[in-house]
């Protein structure tokens, strides 16, 4: 039977095809919109990332500041992606991001062990792997090997703590590193491994402890935005371009100095 197409009435087969195409479009449309939204996680790690509310977590970008945070925000101003930024415990955020499309995490140290676990956007800012002792400690170190005899406070998922564990050091690890300055003063640990800027800041702001002794800086690592491997590489390229443009424009100049004591 010929189709009555001249009157705008489709054949049953044509009608079915149109309905199918319409349903396909509807099913794809939400996914297309979702692909433009990025979910970016960080931790409370001042001065690189810090909650402006005084809490150890945050649900939106307005409540998060810091060196890396400001750099990421400058990058996002230069790309056409909607994003949600949240602050969570590092180990949980680290596990959550992996395996999920359009998810990312900062500030993440880029190491050989992590290289294939993420796609990388950066660099943002460097961290100095530092061993601190209590203010009244007489510990002196000439090399990392000298620290092998001591108990070192760290935390789960932290690249510095993981490195020391893999090298056979005794590391006391918890979910968060905020209590580690107290562990030094209470004698529960001899040393604390953290970034050179982070240590004194957390000690003073969280516990009123001043005068921590930086006894050894044993490594320096650039930090990045770590993007899940499930994310479209073109999105990663756009983010890198946005960061490069922010750096070339001078927008990143002075961010680190603003947060230094």
Q: What is the pLDDT of residues 108-156, one digit of tens each?
A: 999 898 999 999 999 999 999 999 999 999 999 999 999 999 999 999 8
Q: Which residue matches tokens 């509807």?
A: 26
Contacts of 149 (CB under 8 A, 6+ apart): none
Contacts of 187 (CB under 8 A, 6+ apart): none
Could you tell me the pTM of the whole model? Answer: 0.76
DSSP state of 45: B
**What distance in Å separates the CA atoms of residue 172 and residue 176, rounded to the nearest whole number?**
11
Q: Which helix (H) or strand (E) holds 214?
A: strand 213-228
**What distance in Å separates the CA atoms of residue 130 and residue 160, rounded to the nearest whole number?**
9
Within 10 A of 90 (CB to CB), how many other CB atoms are there?
A: 24
Q: What is the pLDDT of residues 189-209, one digit of tens each?
A: 999 999 999 999 999 988 999
Mean pLDDT of the chain: 87
Report yes or no: 45 and 198 within 8 Å, Cβ to Cβ: yes
């Amino acid at each position: 039977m010929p189709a009555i197409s001249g009157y705008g009435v489709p054949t049953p087969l044509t009608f079915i095809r149109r309905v199918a195409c319409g349903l396909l479009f509807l099913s794809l449309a939400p996914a297309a919109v979702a692909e433009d939204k990025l979910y970016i996680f960080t931790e409370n790690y001042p001065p690189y990332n810090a909650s402006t509310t005084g809490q150890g977590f945050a649900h939106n970008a307005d409540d998060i500041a810091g060196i890396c945070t400001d750099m990421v925000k400058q990058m996002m101003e230069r790309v056409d992606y909607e994003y949600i930024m949240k602050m969570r415990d590092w180990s949980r955020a680290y596990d959550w991001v992996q395996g999920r499309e359009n998810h990312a995490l900062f500030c993440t140290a880029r190491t050989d062990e992590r290289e294939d676990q993420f796609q990388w956007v950066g660099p943002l800012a460097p961290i100095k792997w530092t061993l601190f002792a209590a203010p009244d400690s007489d510990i002196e170190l000439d090399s990392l090997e000298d620290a092998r005899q001591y108990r070192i406070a760290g935390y789960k998922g932290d690249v510095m703590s993981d490195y020391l564990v893999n090298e056979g050091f005794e590391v006391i690890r918890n979910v968060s590193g905020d209590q580690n300055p107290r562990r030094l003063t209470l004698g529960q640990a001899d040393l604390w491994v953290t970034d050179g800027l982070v240590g004194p800041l957390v000690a003073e702001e969280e516990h009123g402890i001043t005068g921590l002794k930086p006894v050894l800086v044993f490594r320096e690592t650039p930090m990045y935005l770590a993007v899940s491997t499930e994310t479209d590489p073109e999105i990663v390229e756009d983010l890198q371009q946005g960061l490069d443009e922010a750096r070339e424009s001078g927008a990143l100049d002075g961010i680190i100095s603003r947060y230094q004591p």
